[in-house]
Each structure stands twice: as structure tokens, then as C-alpha cells.
Structure 1
Amino acid sequence: MAYSLSLPKPCYSQNFHYHHQRCFKINLPKWTTRASSAAPGVELNTLESAIAKKDSNAVKEALDQLSEGGWAKKWGSQPYVSRRTTSLRELTTLGIKNAENLAIPSVRNDAAFLFTVVGTTGFLGILTGQLPGDWGFFVPYLIGSISLVVLAVGSISPGLLQAAIGSFSTVFPDYQERIARHEAAHFLIAYLLGVPILGYSLDIGKEHVNLIDQRLEKLIYSGQLDAKEIDRLAVVSMAGLAAEGLIYDKVIGQSADLFTLQRFINRTKPQLSKDQQQNLTRWAVMFAASLLKNNKESHEALMASMTKKASVVECIQTIESVAAEFNIKY
């Protein structure tokens, strides 16, 4: 559950991640709006072409033009991001549940998977032990070795084990809603902060929001991120965590986001102290959560659109149309 800035994607040790494409019903918020067409006279072909070409500069330019023309009003509507000292109490007051545990990786899915494997193989081993003759020895032995194989795969190739855990995680009823909420938060917050979006995925093992920005890429690889840029990237990084923290008692999808944020912090100049890094994380969660609460209707509608595999342009239309409807209504 992370977003990509065209950097190599690591294999995370905890793929709690909520990879999509399931056949059971998802309990999304009751917002049924569909991606509406642009306002009369608004031309989106340039934006669609730029996204298709994966040209972040062209995407930004197209959205800037649409904003100047009065349509993409939410694009870059939060340009001023300024870090300040933030306490856990502020996060709790804002509505973040269990704020003190946000940075602690969840082992829910990992533990459930391993418990199921060990429990199932153990039960079958005992059951097949009643078979007559040599079968009563060899079959339980083979079944029992499955647990050892799983552990060996996890040690040698963690990615394969995490893929299995990711697939197994779909047994949890909140699985799909969590991934939709998480990735929609990355998408929405990036859009509000003016970071161009080129794509997204909710598929198993491929969940991400693609935010390739050529200018930021150069700063990241050169290790020259300044305070202004790290603040923006931190807010986008923590958006998914904030979205979950506002709804659920335990955040499952924070490991990859925290890993991504740490990579950005490591490329910041001057380097941040441990206390500064901790405060940056808290502040980013608070800022992202505030934006999500202030744009709740857009977030929920975007969740629904992304679940239906809407295109990036359709998702942007959803954000803009819901914001326009909400402003008119209130």
C-alpha cells in the first residue's frame, strides 16, 4: 500500500497490504456518484494524452491550464505545507485512533497466515497418522514438512511468502475497504498538493499510486531534498496511514509507507535528527488526516471510483465533480 515515485519498489517484510480484485462484496461508504464528464467546454484530451505518455511535466501543465480555466479547482489547492511541532494528543484529538501505535508494524496478516498453515498441517498430520502401514509414517511426515518449507521460503525469498500472505489476507472482511481507503488517500492528497498522478493499481502485489515527478526524482536521487519538498512528500506518504487511522483501531498498511518516508528522509539535506524525523511523521499524519476530513466526500467517492477501476482522468473528474456539488449544496 504505497505510492511510487519511480523509485525501485522494495520487498516489504509485512505485506499486510491489501491487494485487490476480489469476488466478494466490499463495504464501501454509501457514496454512489460516478465519474462525471467535464464541464461544458472543458477539453481533457491533452490531460489524457499526457497521462498515457507517462509525462509528469505534461500532466502538471495540463492540470495547471485546467485550473486556470476554472475547472480543476482542487488541483494544487493546498500549496502551502509548513511543518510544525506536533504531539500525539493532537493526533488523538483530530480523530486518529491509537495514535501512539501508528508506527508499530502490524503482524495481523502474517500471524494469521502462519497460524493457519501450522494449525492445518498439524491437524492433518495427526489425522493421517492413523493410516495403516508405512502410509501412517510417510504421509504425516510430508504434511508436517510443509510448515518447514514455508519458513524456508520466507527466509530465502520473502517476496514469494508475502505474495501468499497477501492472497490469504483477503479472508479478512475489511481487506478490500482498507486498500481502497488507503490508496485513494494517497491519490487525493497528492492531487490536492499538486503532485502529478500517472496511474494507480489495487491489484494483488501491485497496489500503489504512481506519482512520478521528474523534478522530484532528480532531487531524491541527488540527495538534495529540502524542507519544503520533504514536507510535501511526507504528507503524501502518510496519507494512507492517516486514512486508516481515522477509521480503524489498528492500522495494517503502514509498513511500506513508513519505509518510503524513511527513504525520502535519508535523501534530505540537511539531515534530520531522530527527534525531527519523529515529529515530521506525526505532523505529516496530522496534516494528511486534516485534509482527508475536510475532503471526506471526495475521498469516499474516489474510493468507489478506484474500486471500479476508473481511469486516472475519471478519478480526477470524480474529485472535481464531488467538490463542485458539495460547494453548491453547502
Structure 2
Amino acid sequence: MSHSLSSFAISLYKSKPESHSRSARFLVRASSSTAPGIDFSTLESAVAKKDSDGVREALDQLREVGWAKKWSSQPYISCSTTSLRELTTLGLKNAENLAIPSTRNDAAFLFTVVGSTGFLGILAGQLPGDWGFFVPYLVGSISLVVLAIGSISPGLLQAAIGGFSSFFPDYKERIARHEAAHFLVAYLLGLPILGYSLDIGKENVNLINERLEKLIYSGQLDAKELDRLAVVAMAGLAAEGLQYDKVVGQSADLFSLQRFINRSKPELSRDQQQNLTRWAVLFAASLIKNNGALHEALMAAMSRNATVIECIEAIEKAG
């Protein structure tokens, strides 16, 4: 997302060895008030160990016993030619500007810094004697210091902008909508989710997959995997675009998508990259729109800091 919101990312960690048997079956015992009779111990263990293969197998088994019906319910996708008109027809607002990084939070932060220091400088100018000279000078230099920090260490400035953006009235709802979209779309496409966070400066949603890790690092992502990752990457942007007139959380998502594109084979032309982005937004928006109740339920769960298991339960219960 943008500098103010958590961003989608695939965390490239090695999957830990599984301690449970591949042929393990689910015991029938109540471990959740929303899913009586279903045992989540295998899934919980896999999530705790950051074992993506274990999570996938556990969810596959839950689907076999008739519970995880939404898990991997959209496994087959393929990029197709997509126009801006299709995005608009689906309900995405200002579709032509979705890929343009937002400067709302940056501009608001800098305007506040410059405006407040200027006002304080004027007030300090009324101080008697030398104080009336030195204090306004020092206050006025704050803006220059902020700009210098932005040039030398952009990360520190973006952290400050991220903290400042939390004061926007739509911040909490917007970030929950954005991250819930990443989580939900990944779940529907069959990509295991190992964790998430709505905290400022932390990347989400965390997907850990050793096979994908190797493909990304080796620059050998094929079209099938690129399509899936593109849809998950654009899900947050799509969710904002369906709800708000202006998207502010697209910067990091677009960066993630470009990173995947750069690691794919064969290489895509500029026109193919543009089409992939449009198609991924359209497909993600379609999934979110068609599963609106699931998205809203997941947003509510994530907003109260529910565990990954509880988030999955929220999706399945809403479905």
C-alpha cells in the first residue's frame, strides 16, 4: 500500500519441516464455538510453525470434511485482455487513475509541518529581545530538517508520514478493507496465509511458500503463478477502488506486482504489463464484489485483531 498503510508482501522465509504426518486425519472434537465438531489443531500447529505446506494440507483436509468450502474455490485463473471500460463497468471509481501513486498523505503531512512551523514562527517573532530573532529562525528550520531527512533517509520520513496518516478519519476502515482483500483473495485462490498485521509499517498479508520463493529468487515465475500473485497483489487496490473515489494504498502493491513481473519468464512487454495490471485489478475486484459478505466479515475480524484461524472461520461462517 502507500506509505501510510500496511502493504501486501510475500515473506520469503524457508518453510519449516513438518512435525505432523502427511496422512493425519482430523479428529472430530469441538475446538471452536463457530465450528463445533471440527479440530483445528493441525492447522493451528502449521500456522504457528510457518509451514505453508502444512497449512495447505490442513485446509485441504478441512475442505474434504465439508468445512473449508471457500478455500481454493477459485484455483484456475488466466490473464485475458482487459479494458478500462470493464473496470468502470464493474464499479471501480476513477479506474484510469488507479495505478497512479497517491500523494494525499505526503502532501497533508508536509502542509501540516510547513503550516504549523510557519504559524509558530510568526508567534515566536513577538518574543522580546534576541528571542524574537533566534526562536523563529529555529522553528522555521524544522521544515528544512524534515526535507533533509527525507533526502538522506526516506524510510524515516515515510514512517512519520505513516504515523500522521493514522489521524485521517477513514484510515482504520481503509486499511482493514485493503488488507482483508489481500487475505480473502489469497484464500479463495488457494494461497496459504501465515499471518497479517494492520500496524503501521508492517507488511501484509504474509504468504510463505518455499516453491514460490525459489521461483521468485531465480526469476523463473511462470505465467500461471504470476497471474495468481498479480491478483492477490492488486486485491487491496481493487477493494479501495470499489469503495472510495480515490485510492491511497496502491504504491507498495504496484511495487510488489512489478517485482513479480521482473522475476517472471518469459519477459512481458510494457503493453502486456499494463494489461496484466488491469486484468488483475478486474479479477480481484470481481472476487471481492461477489464475496462481499465474506470481505465484510473478514474486515470485522481483522479489526479486532483476530488470529489467522479466527479470520478463516469468519470467512467460512459468512459463506
Distance 2:80 2:205 in 1: 27
Secondary structure class of the residue paired with 2:205: strand
Counterpart in the other structure of 2:275: 279
The equivalent residue for 1:74 is 70
The one of 299, 302, 306 aligned to 1:306: 302
Once residues 204 and 65 of structure 1 are traced to their aligned partners in structure 2, the CA distance between those partners, rounded to angstroms, is 35
1:12-36 CA-partner distances (Å, limit 9, x unpaired): xxxxxxxxxxxxxxxxxxxxxxxx6
The within-5 A match list for 1:100-111 is 100-111=96-107
Q: Deviations over 1:34-85 (max 9, x none)?
A: xx63533311000000000001111111111111111101000001111100
Is 1:221 aligned to 2:217, yes or no? Answer: yes
Q: CA deviation at 1:207?
A: 4.4
Number of aligned residue pairs: give it.
296
Q: Distance in 1 between matches of 2:276 and 2:202?
A: 27
TM-score, reference length from structure 1: 0.88
| Among 235, 242, 255, the residue aligned to 1:246 | 242
The root-mean-square deviation of aligned C-alpha atoms, in Å, is 1.1
C-alpha distance in 2 between matches for 1:163 and 1:131? 34
**Structure 1 residue 206, shift from structure 2 partner:** 1.2
Match for residue 267 of structure 1 among 257, 263, 271: 263
SS in structure 2 of the partner of residue 236 of structure 1: helix
Q: Is 1:183 paired with 2:188?
A: no
Maintained 8 Å contact 1:154/1:160 = yes
Tell me, in whole angstroms, the C-alpha distance in 2 between the residues paired with 1:37 and 1:169: 37
Match among 182, 202, 209 for residue 206 of structure 1: 202
How does the TM-score come out when normalised to structure 2? 0.91
2:197 aligned with 1:192: no
Q: Distance in 1 between matches of 2:91 and 2:293?
A: 17
How far off is 1:170 after superposition? Answer: 1.8
Q: Among the aligned pairs, what percent are the same residue? A: 80
Distance in 2 (CA, whole Å) between partners of 1:166 and 1:173 is 14
Could you say which residue in structure 1 is the equivalent of 2:153?
A: 157
Does residue 2 of structure 1 match 2:43? no
CA distance in 2 between counterparts of 1:106 and 1:4 reads 19
Q: Specify the SS of the correspondent of 2:166.
A: helix
Aligned equivalents of 2:64, 2:218: Cα separation in 1: 33
5+ unaligned residues in a row in structure 2: which ranges? 1-5, 14-31
CA distance in 2, matches of 1:270, 1:38: 46
For residues 26-41 of structure 1, the aligned pairs below 5 Å read: 37-41=33-37
Alignment-mate amino acid for residue 194 of structure 1: G
- Cα separation, 1, equivalents of 2:44 and 2:188: 19
Runs of 4+ in 1 over 4 A off after TM superposition: none
Q: Does 1:136 align with 2:132?
A: yes
The amino acid of 1:98's aligned partner reads N
1:95 corresponds to 2:91: yes
Unaligned runs of 5+ in 1: 9-35, 324-330
Q: In the alignment, is the contact (CA less than 8 A) between 1:4 and 1:212 conserved in 2? A: no
Task: Provide the C-alpha distance between the structure 2 equivalents of 1:213 and 1:92, rounded to a whole number of angstroms.
Answer: 34
Separation in 2, partners of 1:7, 1:266:
16
